[in-house]
Amino acid sequence: MVSTQPSSFTAAVEAAEKLVQPQNSQSFSDPFSIVSHEMSNLAKSISNLIGSGHPVLNRVSSYYFEAEGKNVRPLIVLLLAKSLSQIPLEQRNRIKIDSLDVTDQKPFSGTPSQTVVAGKSVDDSLSPLSILYGINPKVILDPLSKPMDRLPEFDAMNGILPKQRRLAEIVEMIHTATLLHDDVIDSSDSRRGRPSGNIAFTNKMAILAGDFLLGRASVAIARLRNPEVIELLSTTIANLVEGEFMQLKNTVIDPAAENSIDNDGESKTVPEPSGKVPTKTHEYTVTKPVDFDHETNVNAAFEYYLHKTYLKTASLMSKSSRAAAVLSGAQSDIIDNCYEFGRNLGLCFQIVDDMLDYTSSDSAFGKPSQADLKLGLATAPILFAWKERPEIGDLIARKFSQEGDVELARKQVEECDGLEKTREMAKLYCQKALDNLRVLPESDSRSALEFLTNSVLTRKK
């Protein structure tokens, strides 16, 4: 059920960032305070991982971390980590856990002289620094080798493992990299209440800074030294790109889009493949016949929309949630439910975001509102309206490109209760996420996750 508490999503996240130190075994007046130290130091910790030898690159890369973001992804990882720590150690034996989060991974060649990779800290490199950086080791700038803020007593009390804390930082780095790229793609002019990276610096610098963040994140991922987690997080990066491509062209309802791409409002023909390299076709890229019945077309569009939403938003939440569970040593059923929790919460989050695009002002949203229709995107509100009024399909097919299309689409959404139906869809995923959390022991941290999940539905930005 939706929380009846007056606190909004923003208030919930702000509560998580309060600098409140827990006191031994005393109960927490605010369940979010149990990860307050990690959240309040998140930007500082990430800045230690980003550093390069070029001051302007440092400036662009850290630009979005300076602003007040929701930070919901690392918050989920940290609260899950704390919740998972409530499971007795004897029930968390899928991998071996110690102070360095050691797995049962074997040495590279099995020879006694080699070091077990999994037994290293997240701050230790796998290769010599002179090889990684190719310069004089005496002048090497290696931000990833700086010791993280350990605070062993605090960690022991919180139950959050060092690798789980690093996981939270990695997740926010990946997310921020996608924001830099997305703002260039969408020609956005604001983000988090101030000029977007592409406006403040340039498109080229924003793209390069996003690439740099992904590079730094990839090194940090490798140093987690858990093959399963490396696979999960690396896959999210590919998912994000695939989801962006799905958003660029809606091939389900636009038969011509498979052979063309939009280039700043103009259609550009895609070069034909030479045949030298096999080109695999995803089921969602198979152009649907235009004479399908209306219900089939609408259902296909919703399926496409939800899969795109998973790739762009829910993939990072779901796979990072699963990674947090893997690192905890939890059993498979717990790991699976953590993944499903992140998936359902991610879908709920983005569906609400698509709804807010219709209802929020620019100042409240922190980025341009009413942007989806202007970008030609068919999200849940207009799809629900199309379900009732087949003629809307023409607007969707031409991506609301003609004069008056955006205003007409908004009117149709209002008349067909598209926003309320979208909210009901978000509620469904919210409830599924809450059900997934019930596999975890009752605790303040689980209550915090439940509160956060409910507050997604009531957020205003």
How confident is residue 192, by pLDDT bands cut at 50, 70 and 90? confident
Q: Mean per-residue pLDDT for 330-342?
A: 97
Upper half-sphere CA count for residue 92 (Cβ side, 13 Å): 23
Given a contact cutoff of 8 angstroms between Cβ atoms, the answer to whether 426 and 457 are in contact is yes
Look at the alpha carbons of 329, 330, 331, 334 in this order and tell me if their dihedral is positive or negative.
Answer: negative
Q: Mean per-residue pLDDT for 117-130?
A: 75
Which CATH architecture best describes the domain 228-439?
Orthogonal Bundle (1.10)
Give the model confidence (pLDDT) of 236-247 as tens digits: 999 999 998 888
Q: DSSP secondary structure string, 1-49?
A: ----SS--HHHHHHHHT------TTPPPSSGGGGGHHHHHTHHHHHHHH
The torsion angles phi and psi of 269, rounded to 5 degrees, stand at: -75, 135
Contacts of 139 (CB under 8 A, 6+ apart): none
How confident is residue 147, by pLDDT bands cut at 50, 70 and 90? low
CATH 1.10.600.10 domain extents, the chain:
228-439
Pick 8 or 429 by higher pLDDT: 429
- CA separation, residue 327 to residues 155, 322, 358 (Å): 15, 9, 39
Give the model confidence (pLDDT) of 193-203 as tens digits: 899 999 999 99
Q: DSSP secondary structure string, 293-352?
A: -HHHHHHHHHHHHHHHHIIIIIHHHHHHHHHHHHHHT--HHHHHHHHHHHHHHHHHHHHH
Q: Which of 124-133, 258-267, 307-316, 429-438 has the lowest mean pLDDT?
A: 258-267
Give the model confidence (pLDDT) of 397-421 as tens digits: 888 888 899 899 999 999 999 999 9
In 106-259, which ranges are E strands? 190-191, 194-195
